[in-house]
């Protein structure tokens, strides 16, 4: 029996779905008006009119299915922090509309207009082995070959390689899909006060291992510390990295000899109002030292009160 409509049986679910359909319809109008869909979605996210779980359905329905952008996924070969060259290069590609979806740690999704610096600012870094999906449309006519060439060039840029522009990427007769106008400081401050605090991410902070080896006891200490931090600040997320890789499971750091004395493990915190980072760094340093046992004294199932 077909059950696809069962979720619409309640008034609240029906109204939620209806609001989403309105946003999809608005996205079509925005693209027809030469607005990049990443700029449109990010504006809605900032105003809390769209949530994380709506990003992929909007992209799929509008960009992929209706307008038939070429798309391809790509595993990031190394962490990228500087996007200036990408912004400068893609801004010249007036014959192409480009949207990128970044699948970050902890199920975060970011939608990026690579020509717009504000899009990259929302992301922070793009991390090694995380996923990017490129969506590209040639605005002059229907030519999948040009779109695929653009995707390959984007992949080379993300990989840090020098690239040359295909002449098909530029067409001065095409009206470029421009980013949203930059907000003035007054407008940004007003919006932030009205709609809540803006989500951000800290720089990377290093924690040097001072124990003779980062062994199972250190791992358990780190798990207790991060658990305590999340208990105090449930709206914030701690991201851990080692040798450029995102560590989704702290247990994976315990491989005998993998993390040694003198090595540095890095972390970032993301969220709206970020607090307690200096304490977190201090405790993680202690947890990576011979003094890790102080964090293991509580019984199983109990959370440390550190923050």
Please report the pLDDT score of residue 113 as a whole number.
93
Please report the pLDDT score of residue 187 as a whole number.
36
Structure confidence at residue 193 as a pLDDT band (50, 70, 90):
very low
pLDDT tens digit sequence for 103-155: 988 778 899 999 888 889 888 889 988 999 999 999 888 889 999 999 999 99
Structure confidence at residue 183 as a pLDDT band (50, 70, 90):
very low
3 state DSSP class of 142: coil
Sign of CA dihedral 69, 102, 30, 51: positive
How far, rounded to the nearest angstrom, does the alpha carbon of residue 224 sit from its chain's CA centroid? 26
How far is 134 from 249, CA to CA, in rounded Å?
A: 27
Q: Are the C-beta atoms of 52 and 108 separated by less than 8 Å?
A: yes
* Model confidence at 173: pLDDT above 60: no
| Most confident stretch, 15-19, 25-29, 78-82 | 78-82
Q: Beta 200-201 vs 205-208: how paired, if at all?
A: unpaired
Sign of CA dihedral 238, 123, 153, 36: positive
Please report the pLDDT score of residue 261 as a whole number.
86
Tell me what the mean pLDDT of segment 10-27 comes to: 73
Please report the pLDDT score of residue 190 as a whole number.
38
Backbone angle region of 234, left / alpha / beta, with phi > 0 → left and psi within -120 to 50 → alpha: alpha
Tell me what the mean pLDDT of segment 177-185 comes to: 41
How far is 34 from 22, CA to CA, in rounded Å?
A: 19
Structure tokens at 269: 């915190």
Please report the pLDDT score of residue 4 as a whole number.
60
Tell me what the mean pLDDT of segment 250-270 comes to: 81
Q: What percent of the chain has pLDDT over 70?
A: 84
Structure confidence at residue 232 as a pLDDT band (50, 70, 90):
very high
Q: Which of 27-31, 92-96, 139-143, 165-169 has the lowest mean pLDDT?
A: 27-31
Domains assigned to the chain: 10-195 (3.30.1340.10), 200-296 (3.30.1340)
Q: Which of 145-154, 168-177, 256-265 has the lowest mean pLDDT?
A: 168-177
pLDDT tens digit sequence for 49-79: 777 778 888 888 888 889 899 999 999 999 9
């Amino acid at each position: 029996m077909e059950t696809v409509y069962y979720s619409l049986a309640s008034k609240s679910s029906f109204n939620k779905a209806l609001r989403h359909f309105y946003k999809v319809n608005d996205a079509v109008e925005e693209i027809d008006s030469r607005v990049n869909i990443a700029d449109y979605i990010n504006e809605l996210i900032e105003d809390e009119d769209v949530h994380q779980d709506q990003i992929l359905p909007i992209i799929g329905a509008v960009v992929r299915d209706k307008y038939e952008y070429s798309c391809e996924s790509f595993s990031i070969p190394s962490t990228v922090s500087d996007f200036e060259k990408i912004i400068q290069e893609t801004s010249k590609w007036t014959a192409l509309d480009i949207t990128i979806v970044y699948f970050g740690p902890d199920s975060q999704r970011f939608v990026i207009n690579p020509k717009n610096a504000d899009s990259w600012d929302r992301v922070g870094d793009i991390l090694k082995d995380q996923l990017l999906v490129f969506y590209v449309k040639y605005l002059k006519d229907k030519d999948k070959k040009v779109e695929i060439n653009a995707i390959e060039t984007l992949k080379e840029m993300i990989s840090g390689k020098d690239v040359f522009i295909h002449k098909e990427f530029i067409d001065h007769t095409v009206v470029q899909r421009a980013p949203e106008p930059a907000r003035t400081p007054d407008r940004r401050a007003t919006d932030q006060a009205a709609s809540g605090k803006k989500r951000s991410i800290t720089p990377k902070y290093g924690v040097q291992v001072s124990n003779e080896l980062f062994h199972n006891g250190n791992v358990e200490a780190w798990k207790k510390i991060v658990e305590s931090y999340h208990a105090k600040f449930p709206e914030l997320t701690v991201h851990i990295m080692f040798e450029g890789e995102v560590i989704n499971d702290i247990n994976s750091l315990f491989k005998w000899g993998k993390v040694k004395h003198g090595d540095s493990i890095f972390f970032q915190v993301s969220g709206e109002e970020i607090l307690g980072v200096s304490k977190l760094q201090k405790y993680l340093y202690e947890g990576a030292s011979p003094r890790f046992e102080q964090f293991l004294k509580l019984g199983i199932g109990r959370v440390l009160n550190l923050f």
